[in-house]
Structure 1
Amino acid sequence: MSSLITILREVRDPRDANARHDLAELLFVALAATLCGAKSCVEIAEFGEGREDELREILVLEHGVPSHDTFSRVFRLLDPAELSRAFAAFMTALRRGLGLPPPQGVVAIDGKTLRRGYEKGKAHLPPLMVSVWDSETRLAVAAARAPGGSEVKATLDLLKGLTLKGCTVTADALHCHPAMAKAVLAAKAQYALGLKGNHGPLFAAAEAAFAAAGDLAFFETRERAHGRSEWRRVSVLPVHRLADPPSFPGLKAIGRIEAERTGGDGKVKRAVRYIALSKLLSVRRLAQVVRTHWTIENQLHWTLDVVFDEDDARTRKNNGPENLAIIRRLAHNILRTHPLDKPLASKMRRAKWSKEFFFELFTHMR
């Protein structure tokens, strides 16, 4: 707990020197409240008032618990880059405390819209958060708001500060561009990037090469669940099989995934996707990588919406939506790493009901 507070003390305070409440303590109260199910600044303040005696076992709280107006004003003013750096520093300390190595497997990158976090009159421009997800440990490694909705810029900025040696970085077709490929390779990682018409020459070359390839080795899966059936076939072509491919940093192969889904109503949907690869993967391994990428949707974004109610979060002004989104991701990681074999929502309820379990969420990380 003390190491977390020490990290939070590195966050630069945007308020005047005469601010009454210590910033690190304020941020810790917000995180503690989120761990116990608080969804807004009002609920954070109510949590602090209700659990003040317990919080004083950790914090000084010289002027008591801040009001909801104070929480709201601080999160509006706080530079999100400061909190994002604290997030990354905490994750480094958390992994070290748990004996976890740096990410080693599939690292997925994807954006998530804060649907109700838009400014007044700008419902069509809600904030967009980009998360970097370690699929092996099921932890968010880093997160930041996409400036001006630019998911590409936010991703490139995040990659500069990450240790990804030996990882396979996955992302959708929005990120299939030379700058992304260079950034991943500079981090000593490999990439598996969705390929669509936004990179027209390479996409056309891939389509033509697979059409001319004839019979290829493939890996096939069939699944049936929830009243629907799905069939997938994965194949891979080394880059030298492409006729006159355009220049693309580090490109070694193109993967193709053919999919067919039959719904409960009998309707069939077919799709073909291509993947740009910096390493020639086996067809089985490519299938694993692509399926693993989607854990960022199923185990991070879904959890943030269902457990933390992120889609309904109504904080809208200035930097508030992004800063609270980072707090939620911190809380997600803390709950995820606790060894109790229960769903995150169950751990959240236990933290709310049990003082001992609440403290245990922090002490188990040592």
Structure 2
Amino acid sequence: MSNLRISGEGDDISGLLAMLGGITDPRKARGKIYSLSFMLASALVATLAGATGLREIGSRVADFGQDLLARLGAPFDHFTGRYRAPSEKAIRALFEKMDVAAVDAAFGAWLFAHAVWEPGEDIVLAMDAKVLRGAWSEGNKQVTLLSAMVHANGLVAGQVRVPDGTNEITQVAALLENLPDISGPVVATLDAVHTQHETAFLLVEHGIDYALTVKGNQPTLYRKTFEQTLPLLQKPPQHEVEERGHGRIKKWQAWTTEAKGIGFPEVATAAVIRRDEFDLKGIRVSREYAHILTSVAGNRATAAYIHRLIRGHWGIENEIHYPRDTAWREDANQTRTGNSPHTLASFRNLAIGIIRRNGIRKIKETLEYIAGDRDRVLPLLATACH
């Protein structure tokens, strides 16, 4: 991996260790051998080395070299003359009891604070849920997590568990409370299941604009949006993009208009995006329409901007969900005890964020590179801290 350099004494990871150590420690004070920051840092490095579950985390930590253990803050055993590593049992017990809300809040705030932003750049958050298909709760329900990813850099800024017996719609408020402090314009993109009056009110009350796709689950709202945007399709597109790849030609055309007479909280703009797909001979094979309502208003609500918001929303699948499934085989993982499934997912989010902070796009290859020599992780962690 050409983006990574060989570790050295100058690799300062104290900021990361401080963040990890500041999370609520669920263990009793009596009998603790390892600091919380060391335990969590060890689990993070194991995750960055490709560990898919608690057994593999324990196995990789047991193989850490003495120098790496020392840099992570391991206790020194004067009887053996060596730094000590925690057992799988100790790591498992910690993950089961972790305060996942505190973990997600700390990880999200730390990643967000260390991200690089362009001056005046809007912060756009994609909010979407992921089911951990192999993990089941004590109530025999699949574990579902609702996350907020920053479009621009693929960092997870917040995540919450969807409680058994509810759905992701009910957890937007909890996710908003879990987000770090964000200054400047913020826009949230959500799919059609979240096109609800209550969700729009919540976002606006938090000072966040929304861009929501409207579908048949809201028939009256869909009809009004359709009627508002239908005349636009008789005019030249206000924005157009064409891409070629995988034996197909894809074309997106977008239009926007003022949202008049649509009864939805703080709605300012209605938009329609038409997506056509052609074969290489120019014969159309499919056509789809997306209807959008947004609180973004005025000169900001250009067709190009709304198109970028909607296309960027699906980045959470490619940037977060897909790597967690392919690099860490998340859907196949059957860890089920306590808060372990959620905690593991949070560490994968943090690992992805650290890799992206280093300007690296290839997640799986990076894990394989670190697995070959665990000390290679130190410059990765140091760069992410600064």
Query: The TM-score by the shorter chain falls in which range?
Result: 0.7 to 0.9
Question: Which residue among 47, 53, 66 is the counterpart of 1:34?
Answer: 47
**In the alignment, what sits opposite 1:287?**
307
**Displacement of 1:12:** 2.1
Residue by residue over 1:90-138, the C-alpha shift from the partner in whole angstroms, topping out at 9 and shown as x without a partner, is: 224433xx6888973432111111111124793xx32112221112122
1:36 maps to amino acid = A
**In the alignment, what sits opposite 2:133?**
115
Does residue 167 in structure 1 map to residue 186 in structure 2? yes
Q: How many residues align?
A: 356
Kindly indicate whether structure 1 or structure 2 has the higher relative contact order, using CA contacts under 8 Å at least 6 residues apart. Answer: 2
Residue by residue over 1:16-45, the C-alpha shift from the partner in whole angstroms, topping out at 9 and shown as x without a partner, is: 332434333211111110011111111111
**In the alignment, what sits opposite 1:47?**
60
- For the Cα contact (< 8 Å) 2:153–2:356, is it kept in 1? no
- SS of the aligned residue for 1:114 comes to strand
Distance 2:175 2:184 in 1: 15
**Displacement of 1:222:** 3.9
**In the alignment, what sits opposite 1:18?**
30
Cα 1:110/1:102, change in 2 over 3 Å: farther
For residues 208-223 of structure 1, what are the structure 2 equivalents within 5 Å? 208-211=227-230, 215-218=234-237, 219-223=239-243
> Once structures 1 and 2 are overlaid, which stretch shifts more, 15-24 or 128-137?
15-24
**In the alignment, what sits opposite 1:65?**
85
- For the Cα contact (< 8 Å) 2:228–2:270, is it kept in 1? no
> Once structures 1 and 2 are overlaid, which stretch shifts more, 38-47 or 134-143?
134-143
**In the alignment, what sits opposite 2:336?**
316
**In the alignment, what sits opposite 1:104?**
122
- For the Cα contact (< 8 Å) 1:251–1:276, is it kept in 2? yes
- SS of the aligned residue for 2:24 comes to coil
Q: Which runs of 5+ in 1 are unaligned?
A: none
Distance 2:242 2:98 in 1: 49
**In the alignment, what sits opposite 1:254?**
270
**Displacement of 1:61:** 3.2
Could you state the TM-score of these two structures normalised by the residue count of structure 1?
0.87
Question: Which residue among 328, 331, 334 is the counterpart of 2:351?
Answer: 331
**Displacement of 1:192:** 0.7
Residue by residue over 1:217-251, the C-alpha shift from the partner in whole angstroms, topping out at 9 and shown as x without a partner, is: 423444442233434332222112xxx422x2210
Cα 1:255/1:346, change in 2 over 3 Å: same
Distance 1:42 1:17 in 2: 25
Does residue 154 in structure 1 map to residue 174 in structure 2? no
Distance 2:228 2:117 in 1: 45
Cα 1:214/1:329, change in 2 over 3 Å: closer
> Once structures 1 and 2 are overlaid, which stretch shifts more, 163-172 or 225-234?
225-234
What do you get for the CA RMSD once the two structures are aligned? 2.7
- For the Cα contact (< 8 Å) 1:147–1:153, is it kept in 2? no
Percent sequence identity over matched residues? 25
- For the Cα contact (< 8 Å) 1:335–1:348, is it kept in 2? no
Residue by residue over 1:48-102, the C-alpha shift from the partner in whole angstroms, topping out at 9 and shown as x without a partner, is: 111141212331336732222222222122221121122123224433xx68889
Residue by residue over 1:308-331, the C-alpha shift from the partner in whole angstroms, topping out at 9 and shown as x without a partner, is: 222222211221110110011011
For residues 177-326 of structure 1, what are the structure 2 equivalents within 5 Å? 177-211=196-230, 215-218=234-237, 219-240=239-260, 244-246=261-263, 248-261=264-277, 268-280=285-297, 281-326=301-346
- SS of the aligned residue for 2:133 comes to coil
Distance 2:358 2:98 in 1: 29
1:140 maps to amino acid = V
Does residue 56 in structure 1 map to residue 70 in structure 2? yes
> Once structures 1 and 2 are overlaid, which stretch shifts more, 200-209 or 313-322?
200-209
**Displacement of 1:214:** 6.8
Question: Which residue among 148, 151, 163 is the counterpart of 1:132?
Answer: 148
Cα 1:141/1:76, change in 2 over 3 Å: same
**In the alignment, what sits opposite 1:145?**
161
Residue by residue over 1:114-166, the C-alpha shift from the partner in whole angstroms, topping out at 9 and shown as x without a partner, is: 111124793xx321122211121222222222223521233322223342631
